[in-house]
Amino acid sequence: MTLNVYIASITANTEVRKQVQKVLMVLDGLGVPFKAIDITLRGNEQYRDFMRQNALNERCDGVPLPPQFFADDEYLGNYMDFEEAVEDNQLPEFLRLIPSSAEDVDDDEGEDEEDEEEGTSEGEMSEKYDANNDEDEEDEQEGDEEGQVDEQSENDKGDVSSGLGSSSNEDDPQKVSRNDKTIGSNVEDEVNNEEETEEDKDDEVELEDEDFEDEDQVE
């Protein structure tokens, strides 16, 4: 980009001459690169016509006068715009040497919107990930609960079967009667054995008495 400053070195207008001198002094003092185009020189009639056609400013009525500022073919402003930029410390922005604050704000807003979109997409992804994890955890919990229910049902079946076995043994009348018969026969055998033992003792006593009688007879 080239900063073009349209000036007039030969003019009877004192105000125009002072304005041109001040502009050149400020730009040279700041070291701003620019190209001075003198529309009063012979052979520069086309530049003069270009300036008059394109330097359209609401502050100026009639034919535009130097100095006028262009960035290549883009019109920037006249001397009043230049003077306001100097007073407001906005000269670099006015001369398009750096982006204007309005453009910076637009860029910042665009970056903020992009950051918000990225943050939103990341938030949605994290929510989906959390939802999937929650579903997996719920499935695992359901599986554990089903396993516990199956184990409990198996244990209950085992307890019921063992209980039935014991109760069937206790409630079987045939087995009870057999046990009673066995106990009764054992008691009878013991009684018979005791009676036989007593009879043997009586026989022994009788034999002893007979022996005593025989001894007395012998004497």
What's the whole-model pTM score? 0.48
Angle ∠(2,7,11) on CA atoms, nearest 5? 170
- Torsion angle (degrees, nearest 10) of CA 77, 82, 87, 93: 70
Q: Is residue 213 in a domain?
A: no
Percent of the chain residues topping a pLDDT of 70: 45
What is the average pLDDT value for the chain, to the nearest integer? 74
Could you tell me the pLDDT band of residue 61, with boundaries at 50, 70 and 90? confident
Phi/psi class of residue 65: alpha, beta or left (left: φ > 0; alpha: ψ in -120 to 50)?
A: beta
Residue 111 corresponds to which amino acid? E
For residue 24, tell me if it sits in a domain.
yes
End-to-end distance of the chain based on CA atoms, in angstroms?
Answer: 175
**Average pLDDT over every residue of 59-67:** 88
Among 12, 32, 14, 13, which residue's Cα sits nearest to residue 23?
A: 32
Residue 143 lies in a domain: no
What's the rounded Cα separation, in Å, for the pair 13 and 8? Answer: 10
Which of residues 59 and 39 earns the better pLDDT score? 39
Strands 68-71, 74-78: parallel, antiparallel or unpaired by DSSP? antiparallel
pLDDT confidence bin for 62, thresholds 50/70/90: confident
pLDDT surpassing 70 at residue 43? yes
Average pLDDT over residues 33-59: 94
| C-alpha–C-alpha distance, residues 70 and 6, integer Å | 8
| 207 located within any domain | no
CB proximity list for 218: less than 8 A, separation 6 or greater = none
Q: What is the mean pLDDT of residues 111-119?
A: 64
Closest CA to 69 of 2, 5, 1, 22: 5
Tell me, yes or no, whether 8 lies in a domain. yes
Report whether 34 contacts 3 (CB < 8 A): yes
Residue 18 domain-assigned (yes or no) = yes
Does residue 71 lie within any of the structural domains? yes
pLDDT: which is higher, 56 or 173: 56
State mean pLDDT over 150-174.
52
170, part of any domain: no
Phi-psi region of 67 (alpha: psi -120 to 50; beta: other; left: phi over 0): beta
The vertex-194 CA angle with 190 and 199, nearest 5°, equals 150
Confidence (pLDDT) at 168: 44
CATH number of the domain at 64, please. 3.40.30.10
State the total domains in the chain.
Answer: 1
Q: At what angle do helices 14-30 and 79-87 cross, to 10 degrees?
A: 40
pLDDT value of residue 143: 60
Average pLDDT of the segment spanning 1-22? 95
Range of the domain at 77: 3-95
